[in-house]
Amino acid sequence: MAPISIKRILISESVDPCCKKILQENGIQVTEKQNMSKDDLIAEIKDYDGLVVRSATKVTADVINATGNLQIIGRAGTGVDNVDVDTATKKGIIVMNTPSGNTISAAELTCTLLMSLSRHVPQAAMSMKAGNWDRKKFMGAEMYGKILGIVGLGRIGKEVATRMQSFGMKTIGYDPITPPEVTATWGVDQMSLEQLWPQCDYITVHTPLMPSTAGLLNDTSFAKCKKGVKVVNCARGGIIDEDALLRALESGQCGGAGLDVFVEEPPKNRALVNHPNVISCPHLGASTKEAQARCGQDIALQIVDMVMGKGLVGAVSQSPGGTEWQAGACEVEISVNGSSYRATGSVQGGAPVLLELNHSVFRQPVSLTGNLLFLKATASPQLLPSVTGLLATAGVEMESFSAPATRSGDQWYCVGLSSLLGDLGALKPLVKEAAQLSV
C-alpha cells in the first residue's frame, strides 16, 4: 500500500505510555487530552490527522463530520461500537482496532466471574467484612462436570473454553463464522442456539454488539434454559436483555449473573447491580497492565506500519467504494515439479502473510512462519478430523488451521505443524495435493 501522511495524532483517553512513545519515535506529534466533552472534541479534532481512543470516547457522526484532515481512528482495544464506522467510511477515514490485545485479560475475567458465581466469593467476602460467619448461607456448587455454553467462539471464546475445560467442564458453543470442525479441535461442540440453551448450567457471551446479537438472551431464550442457569457477560452491554435478566433472576429461572458491561455505563438503573445474585464490575475486561500495554503498543505499531506503507492491520472500515481496506497485495507464480502455483500475499505488522493460493481465498490471513502444510481437498466436515488423526499417528501436533472462505468444491487449506510431516504420501487418501515448508 502507498504510505499515508499522518503528522499529528490526538489521544483522547488514558492509553499506555508506550503508544505515545512509539508514535513520537516515528516522527508523529502526539497530544493527549482526556475527559473532553463532545463539543470540546469537535472543536479539537479539526487540527489532527489521527485519533486514538479506548471505549469511553464516542466518535459519533457529528465528531467525524467536524474533522478536517482526519485519516485514521485507532481503537486501542477490541470492538468499535463507540465509533460511527459508516460515517467514517463515507469520509474515507480508516478505522482500526487491536482485536487480540485484551484477549487473555477478558478471558481471565470471564473465568473469574464464572468461578465467583459458583462459590459466591464476593458475597462471602462482604459478609465477612460485615462481621458475619455465614457458612451455610453461601453453599456453592462444583464446576466439575457442568456444561458451559459459549456464545461466540472467536479469540476470547476459545481462551475461555480451554481454561474452563481444565476444571472438568464440558464446553459447547455457537458461532455463525468459525467452522464446527475447527472448534472441535479446542474441545467445543458447536450447535444451534435452540439446542444450546436447554443444556447449559452456565452461559457466557463473547459476540460483538449488533442488531443480530442485541437481546440475544431475552425472556424467550431464558425460558428455554435450565432453571437456575448462571450467565456471564464480559463482551458488550445489551447482548443480554437487562430487563429480561432481572425478571429471570427474580423468578429463579436465572440463578446468578456476572456482569462486566451494561447498556448504559455507568448504569443509572441500579436494579441489577444491587441484586444479591449479581456480581458486577465497572467494565474491567481490559483493565490489566498487560492488556493496556499490549493494546497501546499494537495500535501505535499498526499506525506506524500504515504510515510507512508496510501494511494495514486491524482495519474494520471500508473504502468509499465498498471494499474492505487492505494492505497492498503482491502476486507471485511458482513452478514446482511441473505444477504452477499462484499465491497472493501481503505484509501485516511487519510480517508476511498469505491471502490466496490458486484462487482459494483464506478466511483469515495465513502467517508465513513456522512449519506449514498446504492441502488441496474437497470441502468436507470429515477433512479436519481425518487430518488431525493422521498427524497424531505421526507424532505431529496441529498448531493452527486456516480454512478457505468458500466451503465448496476443491480448495486449499493451510495447517500449522509442530514439526514437518515425515511422509506426505500418507495424506494421499485424504487430499488431492499436499506440500509443506518451514519458514
Q: Which residues are within 8 A (CB) of 221 and not within 5 positions of it... i.e. 6 or more apart?
A: 193, 197
Selecting among 159, 283, 294, 356, the annotated active-site residue is: 283
Selecting among 265, 324, 397, 399, the annotated active-site residue is: 265
Which residue's entry shows cell 431475552?
218
Sign of CA dihedral 371, 377, 378, 380: negative
CA dist 54 and 71 (Å) reads 17
Catalytic residue status for 283: yes
Which residue's entry shows cell 505431529?
396
**8 A C-beta contact, residue 340 and residue 104:** no
Catalytic residue status for 54: no
Catalytic residue status for 8: no
Nearest to residue 192, comparing CAs of 216, 169, 219?
A: 216
> Which residues sit opposite 1 in a β-bridge?
none
Selecting among 75, 120, 236, 294, the annotated active-site residue is: 236
Backbone angles phi, psi at 181, to 5 degrees: -70, -25
Q: What is the CB-side half-sphere exposure of residue 308 using CA atoms within 13 A? A: 16
Sign of CA dihedral 19, 20, 22, 28: positive
| Alpha helices by DSSP H, 97-234 | 103-119, 121-129, 155-165, 180-183, 193-196, 219-224
Q: Mind telling me the catalytic residues?
A: 236, 265, 283
